[in-house]
Structure 1
């Protein structure tokens, strides 16, 4: 049975309160059956409450579950997406772990668009419309207790596990890179903990961005000039601990360092 608007509002309030008070809650699916469409409705309501200007504060989009293995694990046949709010972008500052519930760090490849895109959109269209490719570090966050994520719908509703975003200074022309072969290694205090390759992202990081450009039409949205699109985690997410130094070294997109306090 579809959720009523009151039920969607109530679930959005639970997630908003967890975000605002930094107090994790049980997954929504523990006691409520939620469709993918309803999960996005909840997400959009939570985002609008958290951002003063609602979706006017969007600086881009983020993708998740961009591997078939993760999709199969959570029982959904496609990636998932969310918004990147201006207030979540960090500028040359450490990640304060105590200000979050349970942050995790991962590396991504970002696309800065040079034009608006309306569906249908192909991978080649994304490459042609990309102003620059940038290195991105995402600090994931879950509002659920112990990172318990029993369904894709829980992740979607929970802002697609959005936390903080750090964009590297290196901007490269897409024609200068072999995105499939762009590698990255994440080290913690000098020890490599996670590695990945652009080809791990649906064969090419531009491919999920093209999927997103088409999928956004279902929610009356589209990709816009100047937006940042994060193509999904290349590496496994690593728990962050105060005092640790994280080095994120890309093959051609430079090296970023993030300190946790």
Structure 2
């Protein structure tokens, strides 16, 4: 049975309180059972509470669980998605760990769309509609205690663990980069901590974005001109510690360096 509007709002209120207070809470599904559709309803309510301009403030979309291993771990047979809000995009500033609960980072490939991409969407549609591809570092955050995430429904409701986004300065034409073979290495204080290639994202990052375009149609949304689409984490997430310096080096897309404070 679907959650009532009151129940959805109550779950969103709990997550918003954790977001505001920086005091993590137990996973929602420990007390309330709900399905994926309801999880997205909670996510939208939470996003509207957090974002200054509501969904009008969306600068793009983000994907999560783009690997089969992560999907199997949380028991959901598909990726998950959420919104990217304007105020979560960091501009040449350090990661504000004091304003977060337990941040982590992962490297991603971002797509900047030159035009709308109406469903049905193919990977070729994504590539031909992309203005540029950019190096991205996503800062993940969980409102749950100790990153305890027993279900995909918890992750979805919690903004797909959205915390912040850092976009690199290098914008490359999509035809200049073999995205499937694009490599990335993440170093912490000069020591390599994680690595991967674009093929780790559903075989090709454009495939993940095309999946998103088709899935968004189910919620009366879509891929829009000018949006930034985060295609999902290539590397494993790395815990962020104050004072550390993180360097994310892509093979062709450029690099991003950021510091935590």
Query: How far apart in 2 are the matches of 1:182 and 1:153?
Result: 31
TM-score (norm 1): 0.99
Give the alignment of 1:151-190 within 5 angstroms: 151-190=151-190
Query: How far apart in 1 are the matches of 2:58 and 2:9?
Result: 21
Give the alignment of 1:221-260 within 5 angstroms: 221-260=221-260
Give the alignment of 1:92-171 within 5 angstroms: 92-171=92-171
Give the alignment of 1:196-207 within 5 angstroms: 196-207=196-207
Cα deviation, 1:6-65, whole Å, max 9, x if unaligned, reads 111100100011111111000001011110000000000000111121100000000000
Displacement of 1:3: 1.1
Query: How far apart in 2 are the matches of 1:238 and 1:183?
Result: 17
Query: How far apart in 1 are the matches of 2:190 and 2:102?
Result: 22
Report the 3-state secondary structure (helix = DSSP H, G, I; strand = E; otherwise coil) of the residue aligned with 1:156.
helix
Cα deviation, 1:217-253, whole Å, max 9, x if unaligned, reads 1111111100000000000000000000000000001
Partner of 2:89: 89
Report the 3-state secondary structure (helix = DSSP H, G, I; strand = E; otherwise coil) of the residue aligned with 1:106.
strand
1:210 paired to 2:210: yes
TM-score (norm 2): 0.99
Cα deviation, 1:87-134, whole Å, max 9, x if unaligned, reads 000000001211100000110000000101111010000000000000
Cα deviation, 1:194-231, whole Å, max 9, x if unaligned, reads 00110000000010100010100111111110000000
Query: How far apart in 1 are the matches of 2:106 and 2:177?
Result: 21
> Structure 2: which 5+ residue stretches go unaligned?
none
Query: How far apart in 2 are the matches of 1:76 and 1:212?
Result: 15
Query: How far apart in 1 are the matches of 2:159 and 2:24?
Result: 14
Query: How far apart in 1 are the matches of 2:258 and 2:84?
Result: 19
> Structure 1: which 5+ residue stretches go unaligned?
none
Query: How far apart in 2 are the matches of 1:72 and 1:25?
Result: 24
Query: How far apart in 1 are the matches of 2:3 and 2:59?
Result: 30
Query: How far apart in 1 are the matches of 2:170 and 2:76?
Result: 34
